[in-house]
Structure formats: C-alpha cells, structure tokens
Amino acid sequence: MTETEPKEFVASIDSDSRRTPVRVAFVTRRTSPQVRTHDDPYVMTFPEVLFRAATAVEALLLALALLSLFWDAPLEGLADPMQTPNPAKAPWYFLGLQELLHYFPPIVGGVLIPTLVVLALIVIPYFGINIETEGFWLKEPKKRMRALAIVVAALSVFLIVFEVWSVLVPTILIAGIMLLGASPAANSGFRKWLRMKPLSFWIMSWFLTVAIILTVIGTFFRGAGWALVWPWEA
C-alpha cells in the first residue's frame, strides 16, 4: 500500500451527466420525507390497503343505492321569482348560518362569523395552543380559572345582548363541564378524563356543539317568518 495524494472532489454544476457523473445529494430537513423509527408492523398498500378501501367504498355505494331506491330526492314546482316560499331555507349545511342571521345583522352573521370560522380552521395547526396536549387544568389552575370566567362572562353578555339563547345555553353548559375537571380531586373516571383535555379540545367541542344545535334548530324548528315551530308543525 502506498500513500497517495488525497483526491480532490469538486462539486460543480453541470447538467450533462456523462461529463460530470459526480452527484452530491443534499438532504435537507425541510424536504426530506418525515421518517420516524419505530417497531410497528407494516402492511403492503397493494393489496391490503387497497382491498380495504375498495370494500369500504363498496359498502358506502350499497348503502347509498338502497337509500336512493326507497327515498326520492325532493323536487318542487318550477322556480317562480314571484312566489316566495315562507320560510325560504338555504341547504342544510348553511342553516346554522341562516340561524345566526336571524340574531345578528348580516355583516356579523353572514360575513364576520363565517370568515372568522374559516380562518380559525386554517390556522389551527400553527398555534401552540392547539399543538399542546396537556390538560387545561394541570398548570396554573387559578389563573386559568380567572381567564375562563372572563371569557365566558364576556361571551355571555354578547349573547344576551343579541338574545341568542340557543348559543348561550351550550356555552355555559360546556364551561360547567370544564369546571368538573378543575379540582385536583378529579383524579378518577370521567372527571379525570375531563381534567386531561387540552384547551383546543374545549374550543373545538364548543364550536361543534353550537354548530350542531344551530343547524338542527334551523332545519327542524323554524317555520313561517322564521318563527320557532315544532318539526311536525312545519
């Protein structure tokens, strides 16, 4: 073995791979696939995952086809701009919004709130509050109790001013359920489960509950003039 001069490598830029066959691969953290090592068992996508997906979709198709055999899509009379039905309702997924319009001026119920909801959904993963998984009451419980009280009180005043009882009731109810987990004595069963839930869980659950309640009221409990009615009276 003889000592030789150390070879010099030069990283040059050239698109002709025959002239400069040397390639340097830079694997930066940003663009590399996220890989974590663990000892989980793996299954092959083909055929196992594809088979399951196909089965799920077929079951769905079967269910929807059965539904379509026995339940007809609604079709009313020809559209007539001169004849306004009372009430005129949007599709069901917008009825929560239409319900809000009943309480708030259009700029709040129709523009501000939906815009805020969409923005809030988009930014969820970029806020630490949503990435934390620690229970809300585990740190600084007294300070957090004060913050919760202030937020719920402010929200309640706002809702009372506009007389939105259908949002006020679930808001107070959920704050009450939150409080069940506040005490350090809550260390077993359901109360412990509540205690371990992070703030993001509570905010989303509040949003989901309110959205469902408003949609159900708008769909089933609103009749002529957007007055409250029983579903069987509509």
List contacts with another protein (CB under 8 A).
33-36, 38, 40-50, 52-53, 56-57, 60-61, 64-65, 67-69, 71-81, 83-85, 88-94, 97-98, 101, 106-107, 110-111, 118, 121-122, 124-126, 130-131, 133, 201, 204, 208
Kindly state the smallest distance separating residue 23's Cβ from another protein, in Å: 21
Kindly state the smallest distance separating residue 59's Cβ from another protein, in Å: 9
Considering the complex, state which of residue 90 and residue 173 has its C-beta at the smaller distance from another protein.
Answer: 90
CA dist., res. 12 & res. 160, Å (int): 70
Considering the complex, state which of residue 123 and residue 160 has its C-beta at the smaller distance from another protein.
Answer: 123
b or e along 92-121 (b: 16 or more beta carbons within 10 Å of the residue's beta carbon)?
A: eeebbbbbbbbbeeeeebeeebeeeeeeee
Kindly state the smallest distance separating residue 176's Cβ from another protein, in Å: 21
Considering the complex, state which of residue 122 and residue 185 has its C-beta at the smaller distance from another protein.
Answer: 122
Kindly state the smallest distance separating residue 148's Cβ from another protein, in Å: 21
CA dist., res. 176 & res. 152, Å (int): 10
Kindly state the smallest distance separating residue 153's Cβ from another protein, in Å: 27
Task: Let me know: does 224 contact 230? Beta carbons within 8 Å.
Answer: no
Closest CA to 138 of 72, 187, 101: 187
Give just the sign of the alpha carbon dihedral 153, 157, 158, 160.
positive
Considering the complex, state which of residue 156 and residue 209 has its C-beta at the smaller distance from another protein.
Answer: 209
